[in-house]
């Protein structure tokens, strides 16, 4: 069990023990809706949530700087109150966005802590967090971090870029050598899932008098962000079904996967407006950029050329192919389900 103080909880407020700090203060949740002294915490929680709904990462002005205990407590309480507000909206889309944004934020801190060559306590803390949450034993050696090959393979299965293939990594004595950023990148998905499960498993409190309007506002934002158009994937090839599932889970689909999905659906006659909502759950969703890119692929902007869906061979090299027997000998996903002449 980690022994943490407010400076660590301010960076990693999802860790066990953060709630106790609030409890020890003796503030009931109802007080946040009425007490003017707690208004700044409510404002911070609101801001924290708002940033995550736009796909951004909340930046604190006190982390890594001199700050009083009360400023750090405010930081922790704003995270806890944001969770309460999320629970009151009941919007899973918002929970996912918030969890992913907070995971990215924690990732930045873990990376910085691991990279602090002169501060052993910070490095030890980051290593302990990774071990306690994800059971990965990280050992520091010179400027690298070593993790067992089995853990590396387990946690890198969703990484399709070449650099993550084991053959392209430096391996010594059954351990993979990683830089601080790569070490942390490896647990990004798990960190997000960990925060999602913490929020999902937290009890939903009764409505807090005085905060109804904030809850109403975020419920409405959550409804707007929930895809209203769901593509029926029944007749689609496995690669396309997989890409849709990744997006529906709010996980990151690589650029090559987005290109495949968009060009496939465009070739099937779907419009840019029909396809765009599929990307709403992507952690880095931006409506303007998504529409711009889709219009570009559809040939309705830019050069006017409509891009084609890549071949199965190309998709295999991009680790986007999930062939089943039904794929038979087709050479392009667009041929899936069609009888050969
Ligand atoms: S064989 Fe082609 S259609 Fe089938 S999953 Fe692979 S890329 Fe998709």
pLDDT digits (tens, 9 = 90+) for 59-96: 887 666 677 788 889 999 999 999 999 999 998 889 98
Q: Of the candidates 323, 154, 310, which has an alpha carbon nearest to the alpha carbon of residue 241?
A: 323
Give the closest residue (by CA) to ligand 1 atom 1: 323
| pLDDT number for residue 233 | 44
Conformational region of residue 269, where left means phi above 0, alpha means psi within -120 to 50, and beta covers everything else = left
322 Cα to the center of ligand 1, angstroms: 6
| pLDDT number for residue 2 | 58
Residues 276-296: what's their mean pLDDT?
A: 85
Which of 257, 313, 315 has most ligand 1 atoms within 8 Å of its beta carbon, as the pocket-test mutant? 315
Determine the Cα–Cα distance for residues 212 and 208; give it in Å rounded to an integer. Answer: 7
Q: Is the pLDDT of residue 230 over 50?
A: no
Return the ligand 1 atom nearest residue 242 CA: 5
- Two structure tokens written together for 298: 């559809």
315 phi and psi angles, rounded to 5 deg: -65, -30
| pLDDT number for residue 337 | 80
| pLDDT number for residue 114 | 84
- Read off the pTM: 0.69
Which of 233, 236, 237 has most ligand 1 atoms within 8 Å of its beta carbon, as the pocket-test mutant? 237
Return the ligand 1 atom nearest residue 336 CA: 3
| pLDDT number for residue 67 | 75
Q: Is the pLDDT of residue 117 over 80?
A: no
| pLDDT number for residue 41 | 95
| pLDDT number for residue 64 | 60
Q: Is the pLDDT of residue 340 over 70?
A: no
Return the ligand 1 atom nearest residue 327 CA: 4
For residues 277 and 247, is the Cβ–Cβ distance under 8 A?
Answer: no
Q: Which residues line ligand 1 (CB under 6 A)?
A: 237-239, 312, 315, 321-323, 327, 330, 333, 336
197 Cα to the center of ligand 1, angstroms: 33
Q: Sheet harboring 175-178: ordered strands across? A: 139-141, 144-148, 175-178, 171-172
Q: Is the pLDDT of residue 296 over 80?
A: yes
Q: How confident is the model at residue 155 (pLDDT cuts 50, 70, 90)?
A: confident
Return the ligand 1 atom nearest residue 238 CA: 5
What residue ranges do the domains of the chain occupy? Answer: 6-118+189-221, 137-186, 238-335
Q: Is the pLDDT of residue 327 over 50?
A: yes
Residue 42 or 7, more confident: 42
Instruction: Please give the share of the chain, as a percent, with pLDDT higher than 90.
Output: 40
289 Cα to the center of ligand 1, angstroms: 28
For residues 184 and 114, is the Cβ–Cβ distance under 8 A?
Answer: yes
212 Cα to the center of ligand 1, angstroms: 49
From first CA to last CA, the distance across the chain in angstroms is 65
For residues 167 and 193, is the Cβ–Cβ distance under 8 A?
Answer: no
Q: What is the pLDDT of residues 16-53, one digit of tens each?
A: 888 888 888 888 899 999 999 999 999 999 999 999 99
333 Cα to the center of ligand 1, angstroms: 5
Determine the Cα–Cα distance for residues 266 and 239; give it in Å rounded to an integer. Answer: 16
328 Cα to the center of ligand 1, angstroms: 9
């Amino acid at each position: 069990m980690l022994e943490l103080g407010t400076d660590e909880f301010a960076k990693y407020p999802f860790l066990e023990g953060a709630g106790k700090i609030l409890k020890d203060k003796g503030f009931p949740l109802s007080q946040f809706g009425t007490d003017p002294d707690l208004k700044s915490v409510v404002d911070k929680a609101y801001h924290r949530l708002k940033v995550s709904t736009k796909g951004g990462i909340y930046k604190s002005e006190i982390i890594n700087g001199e700050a009083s205990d009360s400023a750090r407590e405010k930081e922790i309480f704003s995270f806890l109150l944001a969770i309460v507000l999320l629970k009151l909206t009941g919007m899973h889309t918002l929970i996912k966005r918030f969890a992913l944004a907070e995971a990215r934020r924690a990732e930045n801190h873990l990376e910085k802590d691991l990279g602090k060559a002169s501060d052993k306590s910070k490095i030890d803390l980051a290593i302990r967090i990774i071990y306690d949450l994800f059971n990965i034993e990280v050992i520091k050696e010179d400027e690298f971090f070593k993790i067992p090959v089995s853990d590396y393979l387990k946690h890198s299965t969703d990484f399709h870029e070449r650099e993550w293939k084991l053959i392209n990594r430096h391996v010594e004595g059954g351990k993979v050598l990683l830089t601080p950023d790569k070490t942390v990148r490896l647990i990004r998905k798990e960190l997000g899932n960990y925060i999602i499960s913490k929020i999902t498993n937290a009890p939903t409190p009764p409505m807090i008098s005085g905060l109804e309007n904030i809850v109403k506002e975020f419920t409405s934002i959550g409804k707007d962000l929930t895809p209203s158009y769901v593509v029926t994937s029944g007749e689609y090839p496995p690669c396309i079904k997989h890409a849709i599932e990744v997006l529906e889970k709010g996980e990151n689909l690589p650029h090559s996967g987005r290109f495949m999905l968009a060009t496939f659906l465009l070739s099937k006659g779907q419009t840019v407006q029909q396809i765009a909502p599929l990307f709403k759950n992507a952690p880095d969703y931006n409506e303007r950029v998504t529409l711009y890119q889709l219009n570009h692929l559809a040939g309705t902007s830019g050069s006017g050329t409509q891009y084609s869906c890549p071949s199965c061979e190309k998709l295999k090299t991009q680790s986007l192919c999930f062939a089943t027997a039904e794929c038979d000998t087709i050479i392009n996903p667009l041929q899936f389900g069609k009888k050969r002449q």
